[in-house]
Amino acid sequence: MKIAIASGKGGTGKTTVATNLAYVASRNGQSVAYLDCDVEEPNGHIFLKPEISESKPVGNLIPEVDEAKCIHCGKCGEICQYSAIVCVGEKVLVYPELCHGCGGCALVCPVDSITETLRELGKLETGQAGPIRFVQGLLNIGEAMSPPLIREVKAAAPEVDLVIVDVPPGTSCPVIESVKDSDFVLLVTEPTPFGLNDLKLAVEMIRALKLPFGVVINRADVGDRQTQSYCRSNRIEILAEIPDDRQIAEAYSRGEMACEAIPKYGSVFARLLSDIGEKVRMNAG
């Protein structure tokens, strides 16, 4: 079972939910893998405290043009949807940061003047956090292209009972790359105007992808009840409401998981995990 933990905006408690679900599942005897796909700012390691056993560079293939062979026909620029390669007069310009590594330019070149070279985007780290298998990606500072690294993080997932995917915030390409192929998407939100606005965007995205999903409202007893009203009116199930508990905030500031620091929350996350599992089984049936 693969559960993606996502949110329309940052700061809603997504990683808190993801790490605690992984912890509870491992305590219940399941084999668990935690994938931190928030490669621009991974922070699951703060709470799970893994021992990293392997680190390797990850990149994508970008075009390299042999000007001596190039006839400047412009076909490479025509096929590129991201303007990563452009033929200007008697010169071919390559913009590596825009390249998606599809290889189309090399395929259409009539004189085979384009080869591909690896450009490093970041690194992939794997390790062990107690019984939890841990995988994270670290995007190089200044890089804009995170989906190739996210794909590598997901490809490194071991064969386990449960995979928890910690998804980047928002609704853009990195999020879509992270959530696709999931059995269930858990959207974590907060009862604020910004939280509700971004929840609506996230719901539209998940529905467009036709993935089953539910909502967790963090700090649910703060502010008004507009988020709950929105979910009810749109037939979106709220699977858990976590209160604005100072003890959780204090545990978070110490890099501790709520389930460890405050035992009563163990049952909250265990029930949430059980409910998600039941919904996945119903969808499969």
Going by CATH, does the domain composed of 67-112 fall within 3.30.70.20?
A: yes
Superfamily (CATH H level) for 2-58+122-284: P-loop containing nucleotide triphosphate hydrolases (3.40.50.300)
Write down the mean pLDDT value for the chain.
95
Digit-coded pLDDT (tens) for 73-122 = 999 999 999 999 999 999 999 999 899 889 999 999 999 999 999 999 99
Q: Could you identify the residue written with the tokens 């070279």?
A: 117
Q: Using CA atoms, how far apart are residues 83 and 63, in angstroms rounded to an integer?
A: 12
Digit-coded pLDDT (tens) for 155-177 = 999 999 999 999 999 999 999 99
Digit-coded pLDDT (tens) for 19-38 = 999 999 999 999 999 999 99
Q: Using CA atoms, how far apart are residues 260 and 251, in angstroms rounded to an integer?
A: 9
Residues 6+ apart with CB under 8 A from 173: 147
pLDDT at 36: 98
pLDDT-derived band at 144 (thresholds 50, 70, 90) equals confident
Digit-coded pLDDT (tens) for 227-269 = 999 999 999 999 999 999 999 999 999 999 999 999 999 999 9
pLDDT at 75: 96
Numbered ranges of CATH 3.40.50.300 in the chain: 2-58+122-284
Q: Using CA atoms, how far apart are residues 201 and 97, in angstroms rounded to an integer?
A: 27
Helix (H, G, I), strand (E, B) or coil at 245: coil
pLDDT at 285: 73
DSSP assigned state of 40: T
Do 3 and 35 meet the contact criterion of CB atoms below 8 Å apart? no
pLDDT at 145: 87
Q: What angle do CA 182, 132, 143 make, to 5 degrees?
A: 60
pLDDT at 73: 96
Numbered ranges of CATH 3.30.70.20 in the chain: 67-112
pLDDT at 182: 97
Do 100 and 63 meet the contact criterion of CB atoms below 8 Å apart? no
* Longest Cα–Cα distance in the chain: 70
